[in-house]
Structure 1
Amino acid sequence: MSNSQQSLGDYGIDIESNPESQDRQDPHTIGILGSADDYAPHSIDREGLPNINGFDWEVQPVQYGPAEILEYWRLDGDFHDGLSHEKIPGSGGIIIRGADDYLREHALTEIEVPDYYTRFENEETHCRWSADGRTHISWRFLKRAVRLSNGYGRIDPVTTRVILCDTGHLFVSGPRGAFLVDIPPGRIFRNGDDLPEPPDSVYETIRGIQVPEENPELRTAFERYFRLLSESPYPSPISHAGFNGADHVLETTSEKTVVNDNNLKVLGGQTKPFEDTVGVYSRQCESTNFVVSVDPMHLPGEIGEEVTLSDDITSFGSSGDTTGIITGYRTNWREEDHIAPSSSGVSTLHFNLIVGLIMPDLTVTRRRINVATFEP
């Protein structure tokens, strides 16, 4: 990939051509570590929550790893006369407790903030390298995040801090408190050069291969991918060869292959080994307890074994037999409601085995095997 980047003017994005400008500092040197909890209220006192024009707070907090978050939501202008909305990130929440623990676990680097809102246009786009697509932090988004923590007054130079996290969130603090906001996913990529060349500090060594992936869950999935392929008859990855949009391009012992977000999530979602999948499962539905026993004969093979699943026992859009290396299993109950006018409304309850597979072309897919079906 070339270091020379063209302007993404259609999206208001300019990529800094020098990768060292995006170098990652040692997270342990971030000054707010150890004091971030000072910005958290530690209890849900609704009278003490910041008043954000055009937004309200959820009823119950949720966990973002070690942090407890109370999310905000956008009020509908159709039901509130004269309602205006502050220009803040579309998704996020205020940290109730656990800010320090969250940053110790997930902080990547601190992003410097201008002294005045009028100077954000001079800021470069900051990048996070990940197949999950949460990659570009434009000056407009950074400005909205700072607005969330500061309001419409001046930017407080003492309390305002912005920290990029490996989870795809920004931590932002200010006079209003400490917040986690989602970096927008699904950015449109116009060509393979939309991500600049990563700095050396972004790379993680995974089974001997340097991979620029900053999402910890996807890094774990990469380790699983490399390990399974190294023990298989399929081509093995030997190096990282750049990006296609946000997707990773790998050089293998045969040819190049592309690994995307969905491939890695399937690898991370189906990990249960053979022996832990065998067992008894139960589910309460329509006041009845349904029980299923999964026997070894229900499972096509062990993790790492190459198998062929026939089309008549699988679903998930398969058209024909599927051959691949088993990555692991997952089980699920799926309830279907009959909504046709002639239907009594009785639901159908399915118990399924979900099998993860690395295909011969090195893409990753999953197949669903129905073990039992009930009509409560």
Structure 2
Amino acid sequence: MSQATLTEYEGQTGPTGFQPDLPDREYSWQDESASMAGLDVVMPDVSHRGNPGVVSVGGDRTLRANEFGYVVGGLDEYLEQHRDEEIEIPVYYSRFEEEGEGYLGGVTAANGSFGVGATPRRLEAAVRAATGGGSFSASETEVIGCGKHPFIVRNGQGAFVFTTVDLERPDSFDLDSHPRHEVADLSVPEDVKEVRKGISFAKTALAEEFDIEIASHVTLSDGFHHFETVNGRRLRIKGYHLKRLSGVVRDAGQITGQMAYEDPWGETFEAEVTDVEYHLGRPMARRGKPVHRRPRNDRVVGFARTWFDPRRSSRVSLSSEVQAKMVYVRLQLSVDQSGMITADRETHTETVDGRRPENKREEATWKGI
């Protein structure tokens, strides 16, 4: 199959003997490089197979085309910043499932699991992708774990980068010995800074809007961070919700004023947020009732603003408006039979302004852009 090649390889940091040609594969490579985790990479071109497309890498292993790439720049700097350890791999593909130990690159509840890294199956797929599915020499194949960041596979064909996957808690893993971060006077085992920022936000919001004061962090389990309050009660919040809280502000003044959005085709949209309708602490459940009769377990805790472009959504519309949105972020509390409090992030969104775009590009298909 014919291969697309790049004409420029600025900053190439491949191994000795590297040639500025893309590895020969049964699929084509994209004509232009892209950025992945700060690396300059070329990804498989499988646009004809759907979005994002799936690549067979040998055996029964597959990878999505947006999950890996061939590194053409920035590798030295990336490894200097993120390199963690070299991952040992078996000598045969057939032994990955039995002998491979996998790699835990970071502890986080960000995606509803315990951590991120690479399973033995993921490592096998990565090695297959780096060799083109053919035989390999474990001694000449370097697999480099980079913490919670994408990992690297390097061999005689060059360097390849692969995204990490979500992992469950490994057997006998000692969470107490994992490095902790100080977050709002709490000691927390969480390696993603956005989740840590969300924990700080949630602690303040719970104290000021619900009179619930978190005293300590208890554990990370099943995608939740668990806490204990000063009254001895248990409270949990999904890591995914905490991560989403990281970009929220509590001062309404920070999101009022002008806002602008430039679409991928150079058209600019502007709007102005003049005021907020629902202030901090406002009960949001059953809004058809008077405020004093609404449940007190669902309150506004912060604000955000965003743009909605119908040409870029999963359900593309070329006739709808590009809209500026005001987002009221809430925490909704519930209690189970054991007395455990669960805090969920919810939102209420209102349109500030909108207009139809002049440019309705054909690239905006039903799958979005």
Query: What TM-score does the superposition give when structure 1 sets the normalisation length?
Result: 0.66
The 8 Å contact of residues 328 and 355 in structure 1, kept in 2 or not, is answered as yes
Which one is further off, 279-288 or 193-202? 279-288
Q: Distance in 2 between matches of 1:74 and 1:115?
A: 30
Q: 2:188 aligns with which of 183, 208, 211?
A: 211
- The one-letter code matched in structure 2 to 1:126 is Y
Indicate yes or no: 2:158 matched with 1:177: yes
Indicate yes or no: 2:333 matched with 1:355: no
Q: 1:328 aligns with which of 280, 283, 303?
A: 303
Indicate yes or no: 2:216 matched with 1:236: no
Q: 1:129 aligns with which of 98, 101, 107?
A: 107
Q: 2:235 aligns with which of 245, 254, 257?
A: 257
Alignment of 1:1-376 (within 5 A): 38-39=13-14, 45=20, 48-53=21-26, 55-73=27-45, 85-86=57-58, 87=61, 89-90=63-64, 91-120=67-96, 121-127=98-104, 128-131=106-109, 132=111, 133=113, 135=116, 137-151=118-132, 152-155=134-137, 157-158=139-140, 160-167=142-149, 169-185=150-166, 196-198=173-175, 200-229=177-206, 232-254=209-231, 255-271=233-249, 273-282=251-260, 291-295=270-274, 297-298=275-276, 300-301=278-279, 305-309=280-284, 323-335=298-310, 346-361=319-334, 362-374=343-355
Q: 1:21 maps to what in 2?
A: none
Q: 1:159 to 1:140 in 2, by over 3 A?
A: closer
- Aligned-pair distance for 1:114? 3.4
SS in 1 for 2:325: strand
Which one is further off, 276-285 or 122-131? 276-285
Q: Distance in 1 between matches of 2:266 and 2:173?
A: 56
Query: What TM-score does the superposition give when structure 2 sets the normalisation length?
Result: 0.67
Q: Distance in 1 between matches of 2:19 and 2:205?
A: 46
Q: Distance in 1 between matches of 2:47 and 2:320?
A: 35
SS in 1 for 2:151: strand
Q: 1:15 maps to what in 2?
A: none
Q: Distance in 2 between matches of 1:277 and 1:329?
A: 7
The 8 Å contact of residues 221 and 267 in structure 1, kept in 2 or not, is answered as yes
- Aligned-pair distance for 1:98? 1.8
Q: Which has the higher contact order (CA 8 A, sep 6+)?
A: 1
- Aligned-pair distance for 1:267? 0.5
Q: Distance in 2 between matches of 1:347 and 1:293?
A: 20
SS in 1 for 2:42: strand
- The one-letter code matched in structure 1 to 2:79 is L
- Aligned-pair distance for 1:93? 1.1
- The one-letter code matched in structure 2 to 1:354 is V
- Aligned-pair distance for 1:201? 3.2
The 8 Å contact of residues 270 and 355 in structure 1, kept in 2 or not, is answered as no
Q: Distance in 2 between matches of 1:102 and 1:201?
A: 24
Q: Distance in 2 between matches of 1:215 and 1:287?
A: 33
The 8 Å contact of residues 112 and 162 in structure 1, kept in 2 or not, is answered as no
Q: Distance in 2 between matches of 1:368 and 1:195?
A: 44
The 8 Å contact of residues 252 and 276 in structure 2, kept in 1 or not, is answered as no
The 8 Å contact of residues 87 and 145 in structure 2, kept in 1 or not, is answered as yes
- The one-letter code matched in structure 1 to 2:23 is P
SS in 2 for 1:143: helix
Aligned length: 313
The 8 Å contact of residues 40 and 95 in structure 1, kept in 2 or not, is answered as no
1:40-90 Cα shifts (integer Å, max 9, x gaps): 79x995xx111233x332333332343222222558799xxxx97434644
- Aligned-pair distance for 1:195? 8.7
The 8 Å contact of residues 271 and 330 in structure 1, kept in 2 or not, is answered as no
Which one is further off, 218-227 or 192-201? 192-201
SS in 1 for 2:178: helix
The 8 Å contact of residues 102 and 123 in structure 2, kept in 1 or not, is answered as no
Kindly report the root-mean-square deviation, in angstroms, between the aligned alpha carbons of the 2 structures: 4.3
Q: 1:205 to 1:288 in 2, by over 3 A?
A: closer
Q: Distance in 2 between matches of 1:321 and 1:348?
A: 35
- Aligned-pair distance for 1:363? 2.3
Report percent identity of matched pairs. 19
In the alignment, structure 2 segments of 5+ residues that lack a partner are 1-10, 289-293, 335-342, 358-369
SS in 2 for 1:347: coil
Q: Distance in 2 between matches of 1:60 and 1:155?
A: 30
